[in-house]
Amino acid sequence: MSTGVSTGQLYTVAEVAAMMRVSKMTVYRLVQSGTIHSIRFGRSYRVPQSAVRNYLDATNPGSDFSI
């Protein structure tokens, strides 16, 4: 089954929170609201690298983030 999403690397919520220097709860809120695309595996979420990059690019235009 294909979701049509090129994932590249998948990050845990904790890894995304550490990269963005926010709490895990903030990342969970972004995932639940659909602001950041995620993939659910059982009871946990994985966030594609591309989704993190897209979110950071959308919230901070003109900035160059390396993930």
User: How far apart (Å, rounded) are the C-alpha atoms in residues 4 and 38?
Assistant: 13
* pLDDT for res 2: 46
Q: What is the pTM of this model?
A: 0.79
CA atoms within 13 A on the CB side of 53: 12
Question: pLDDT, tens digit, for every residue of 18-61?
Answer: 999 999 999 999 999 999 999 999 999 999 999 999 999 988 87
The one-letter amino acid code at 25 reads M
User: How far apart (Å, rounded) are the C-alpha atoms in residues 7 and 5?
Assistant: 6
Question: pLDDT, tens digit, for every residue of 2-19?
Answer: 455 555 899 999 999 999
User: How far apart (Å, rounded) are the C-alpha atoms in residues 65 and 63?
Assistant: 6
Q: Quick count: other Cβ atoms within 10 Å of Cβ 34? A: 8
